[in-house]
Amino acid sequence: MAALKAPQLKFDRESLKLYATRTAIFGIGGGFILGVLAFTYAYFTVSIPDPKAFVNTQSTIIQYADGSEIGRIGAENRQIVKLADIPLQVRRAVLAAEDRNFYNESAVSPTGMARAIFNDLRGGSLQGGSTITQQYAKTAFLNSGQTISRKIKEIVIAMKLQGQMSKDQILENYLNTIYFGRGSYGIQTASQVYFNRTVNQLNVSQAAVLASILNGPGYYDPYYGAANALRLHNRWAYVLDQMEKAKWITARQRANMKFPTLAPHVTAGTLSGPRGYVVSWVEHELANLGFSDQQLQTGGYVIKTTIDKTAEQAAIDAVNKGLPDSTKIPDLRIGLVSIRPGSGEILALYGGKDYLVSQLNGATQAIAQAGSSFKPFTLVAALEAGIPLSSVWNGSSPQVFDDAGKPYPVFNYNQEQYGNISLIKATAESVNTIYVPLGIKAGPDKVLDVARRAGIPANVALMPTPSISLGVASPHVIDLAAAYATFAAQGIYAKPYIIKEVIGNNSGVLYQSSVQAQQVFQPDVMADLTTALQAVTQYGTASQSVAGLGRPSAGKTGTTTNNASAWFNGYTPQMATTVGMFRNDATLSLNGLGGLPSVTGGTFPAKIWALYTKAALAGQPVVQFPPAANIGGTAAQSMIGAVPTLDPSLAITASPAPTRAPVKVKSTPLTIKKK
């Protein structure tokens, strides 16, 4: 029986061609059906908010504690105007640039969309092909992503908008929402930013510039270079040509058009000047509370802060008056934070001269060594250990102490010799050779613990070594202000905060602050600490700058090696304020600033503090500090002027350093100056 043979299949060219044609038709047809199904699904599932909700949403407003406005945050620097108040030629300039057939076409341009999708299939970005209705839909209701699904939503929303709104309404909303660059949203704000005039004062040439910028604000803004300026000029000419083609201007008018002069791109607006640092810190804290950037830009929130308007202006004025000549050190940083004791409310915050020049906040972000600002932590640890202010110590200089088996030489500022003096006198004069052994006696670990309880956060590195008493750590200004506010509140630490309340647009209170406070030190310890720190402002290192304040004050100066940073931390019963001064490179000296050969904490920082405190508390009652508790049983003030005697029980083993330069050791100590 013969074997069966498999049939031989033969394909000629015509058969192959027919097969390919059928496959393509089925593929296109299937793709078309899927596309129709996807679009139908999107049309019935994609909903839009109230079309006017976005355009009527205003910037988030930040307020002082009294309800007056500090500034606005978010990108929506916008003022809404009615279409009737926008000149016809301004509207026509925008139509000429973006969508000349707007009034005669559908919400979606099929040919434009085809070009955009074809570009996407080729690997390009999904862009172009948008009518003004589509642009408004994208701006108001969608993110800026370039995906097919986002484009489908744009088409659906545009079509639904067309069914709900007239062309005039769509154009009005578009002109009030579109971004023009330089932080301006909407035609009214753009007119003011670029030409220092309102929209109804624009001429055709100026309107053509604004219409040109819409195509790419950063790409056409001449502020960013000559190439941008050339592109803008060419785009401006194109817009005018389109207006002539549409017979909106005559050929003669077109020929006589001259390119207008733009307003300079200046550092002005909400974030300019010192208030920019306040606004930026509010944004930072709102983010920590869970408010997104998009919410702040479009939510129309009202942010009530703790900032006292009088105190904030007093801070700005104090820096300007207290620092007459800062030009010799152009990279100078100054930070000031003032806190209400017991509540943690930030009453004033000064982070720098102009936020738009430098965004590093000198009050909350910059760091520098604290110097003798840390000595009160050592004093508290000593008082908690029962060491009284009346105890007597050896203030000769230099002395060498033991630091984990290594010699640790310590010097007083200018090698000053004090002999045997009381602890309160050592505080007033900021004697290093007394405070190092005091910290050793109390325990460096105890000093570290006091600093943490007072308010120095965990992100500030601290080491339990003898040098901790001399402030080798580098905190922020706000950290020290919080710690000294704890002292002013008689031992109650309150977490600093700047946001009191967030009010939503027609949705009531979204957030309300609460005081986070706890007693971390005993009142008797705080009473003696304040007694010692009053000596600093009465007859110590800050007395000359603080004289004339007219109310009780306490505080501590701080200056580091080579006068690289200078601090004053002071308080009254109503207010605690820290002023820090340093350079961008916090290791470089401040000497020479304002003509002073030696800049210390008792000079400009203490002077600024006094100017600020006097102005901020003007008209408020004079409040006294609690009297000294006299831990240890002897009144410290009685030791001033008396012949002191060292207490052997407090002695710390130390040896005089040689008069020649100290021997270098592997761990070179930092010499912290007292002033």
Q: Which residues are catalytic?
A: 98, 372
Residue 234 burial (10 A CB sphere; 0-12, 13-18, 19+): exposed
Distance CA 335, CA 566 (A): 11
Q: Within 10 Å of residue 27's Cβ, how many Cβ atoms?
A: 10
Question: What is the rounded CA–CA span in Å between residue 201 and residue 179?
Answer: 20
| DSSP secondary structure letters along 3-65 | PPPPPPP---HHHHHHHHHHHHHHHHHHHHHHHHHHHHHHHHH-----TTTTTTPPPEEEE-T
Q: 509, 572 in Cβ contact below 8 A?
A: no
Query: How many angstroms separate the CA atoms of 438 and 377, rounded?
Result: 11
**Dist. CA 403–CA 508, nearest whole Å:** 59
Q: Are 553 and 484 in contact (CB under 8 A)?
A: no
- Which residue's entry shows tokens 């000559």? 226
Which run of H or E residues covers position 509? strand 508-512
The H or E element that residue 161 is part of is helix 148-164
| Phi, psi angle pair for 440, to nearest 5° | -65, -40
Distance separating alpha carbons of residues 177 and 75, to the nearest angstrom = 11
Q: With the C-alpha atoms ordered 458, 463, 467, 468, is the resulting torsion angle positive or negative?
A: positive
Structure tokens at 571: 């308080």
H/E stretch holding 312: helix 309-322
**Spatial distance between the Cα atoms of 400 and 6, rounded to a whole number of angstroms:** 106
Nearest to 492 by CA among 458, 522, 527, 533: 522
Rounded to 5 degrees, what are φ and ψ at 145?
-60, 150
d(CA 524, CA 521): 9
Please state, in angstroms and as integers, the Cα–Cα distance from residue 389 to each residue in 512, 542, 579, following that order: 43, 19, 26
Query: Does residue 258 sit in helix, strand or coil?
Result: coil
Peptide bond just before 409 cis, omega within 30 deg = no
